[in-house]
Amino acid sequence: MPLTSPGSPGSSAMPRIAIVGSGFAGIGMAIRLLRMGITPLALYEAADDIGGTWRDNTYPGAACDVPSHLYSFSFEPNPAWTRAYGQQAEILEYLRHCARKYGVEPLVRLRTRVAAARYDETRGVWNLQLQTHDPQHGTHSQETTETTETVEADVVICAAGPLSRPALPQIAGLDRFEGKLFHSARWDHAWPLDGKRVAVIGTGASAIQFVPQIQPRVSHLALFQRTPPWILPKPDHPVSRRAQWLFQHLPFTQRLVRSTIYWRLESRAIAFVVSPGLMKYPRQFGLSYLARKVKDPQLRAKLTPDYLPGCKRILLSSDFYPAVTQPNVDVITTGIRELVADGVVTVDGTHHRADAIICGTGFHVNDVGAPFEVTGVGGADLSGAWLRDGPQAYLGTSIAGFPNFFMMVGPNTGLGHNSMIYMIESQVRYIADCIRALERRGARTMDVLPDVQHDFNARLQATLARTVWQTGCHSWYQTRSGKNTSIWPGFTFSFRRRTRRVRESEYRFTA
C-alpha cells in the first residue's frame, strides 16, 4: 500500500518512508527528503492539524523562550516576525507556511494515530498499525468513526517529540473534584475564568507564562509551588517595521542577527557544561532581579531557589513576579494531600476552595516508554527497554535492534541554552544521510551496532556527571533514579559535527 496520497511525487524504486508527527521535526524531515528527491513518504498526525507542541499549547501567553530569528528553519527565514520572541499563533502559522511552500501538506494524514510499529525480520519492513478518526458528517453530534489499517514502510522516522504527552499530577482525588480541571496543554478556552477562584498546580515554563495572563481576570489565584524556578527578565519587544523591511530586502541582515543570537546563546554552554561554577553570576543577577520585583520578604523567600541556576530549566519572564505580588494571589509551598469536591487540601489540613484547577505540570518525558508500541528484532520491546534502563539511543537518533527506525528529538538531544531547531536540523541531515547510505550500499536495512550505542551513552553519561544538570537538584531532565536522559551535554556545534555524515562502520547493513 503506498504511503503517499494519489498523485504525490514518488518512485516505487525509492525507499518508502513513514514520518510520525508533524511539528518542527516532522515537517523539517519531510522537506529535506522532498528536496533530495527521496519519496514516496507520508506523515501521520494524530491531531486534526499540523504543528505539534505549537498546535497543542494555546494557553494565554504561550510563547517561545528562544529568539524568533533563531527559532526557525535556517533555509526558511521569516523576515516578518513581529516580536523578538515568537508567540504561539505566529509560530504555528510559520509551520503551516513551511508545509505549504515545500509541498508537505498533501503528504500529511491528519487524525491518524500510529498505534504500533512492528518490524518484520523476514522481509525487512515495518508494519504500522494506524487508527484513523473521522468526524461524522451531516450530523450535529461530536461522534467520530474509527478505522484501523496496517501499512508497510521501509523506514520509520519518529518525530512525535518529547513534549507531546501532558502529565497530570499524581495527587489523590483527581476524580473527586467537581469543578473544572484541565492541563495547560489542553486549555479549555470555553470555560469562563473571569471572577472565579482558580488553583494552579506547578510553576514551570507554562505556568510562568499563563499565570500573569489570568491573574487580572480571576477573583483569587492559589499558586501551588513545589520548587521555585530561577527566573530572569525576558528581553522581548516588538520588531520594528524598519527592521522587517531590512530583513525582507537585505536578507544578509537577518542572517547576521541569527548568527549573533546563536553565538550569544551558545557561549552559555561554557557555564552549563565546562565550568558550572560560572553560574554564580546568573545566580547573583537572578537574586537581584527577584529582590527588585518582590519586596515582601516572606514571599521572596518562597520564590528563592536553593539550587544552582541551570540545574533546572532557567525561565524568562518579566511579568510573573509582578503578577504573584498582587493581593488576589497566594503562593502556597505546602504540599498537596488531596483534591476534594470543591478544592485542594494541603498536608497541613488547610482547605483551599477552587472553582477550577489548572495543571501546569509538564509532560511525560522520562520514566515512560516510546510514544507508541515499537517492536524490533527478536520481538524487542522499545518501551520495555526504556522503562527498565531509561530512554537511550545513539546520537539520539538510532537504536540498536530496531533497523531503519530513527528518532528525532530523541534521548539526550534536548538543550538548556540554545535553539532546538538547530538540533533538529542536525538530525534531519543525519537521517537523510542514513537513507543515502542505504542507497549507496544497495542495502535493505541498517542497524546501529549495540557496542557503538553502549559506548556512546557511557561517555555521554560520564560527561553529564560534570555538568550543571547534575549539581544536586532533581528535574524533568532526569529519571526517578537521577539519570539524565534528556540533555545534550555539550555545544550544539559539536552535535552538528557528529551528525554531519553517517559513519557506516557503526552500522550493520543487510541486503
The enclosing H or E element of 317 equals none
Per-residue model confidence (pLDDT) at position 3: 44
pLDDT at 273 over 60: yes
pLDDT at 353 over 50: yes
Per-residue model confidence (pLDDT) at position 15: 52
Strands 351-353 and 343-346: antiparallel
Which strands form 125-135's sheet, in the order they lie side by side?
144-153, 125-135, 112-120, 373-375
Q: How confident is the model at residue 139 (pLDDT cuts 50, 70, 90)?
A: very low
Question: pLDDT tens digits, residue range 177-216?
Answer: 999 999 999 999 999 999 999 999 999 999 999 999 999 9
Share of the chain above pLDDT 70, in %: 95
Reading phi first (left if > 0) and then psi (alpha if -120 to 50, else beta), residue 373 is in beta
Domain residue extents for the chain: 17-165+365-445+488-505
pLDDT at 304 over 60: yes
Question: pLDDT tens digits, residue range 374-386?
Answer: 999 999 999 999 9
pLDDT at 166 over 90: no
What secondary structure does DSSP assign to 382-441, as a single string? HHHHHHHH----BTTTB-TT-TTEEESS-TT-B-SSS-HHHHHHHHHHHHHHHHHHHHHH
Report d(CA 477, CA 481) in Å as an integer.
11
Q: How confident is the model at residue 11 (pLDDT cuts 50, 70, 90)?
A: very low
Q: 17-165+365-445+488-505 belongs to which CATH class?
A: alpha beta
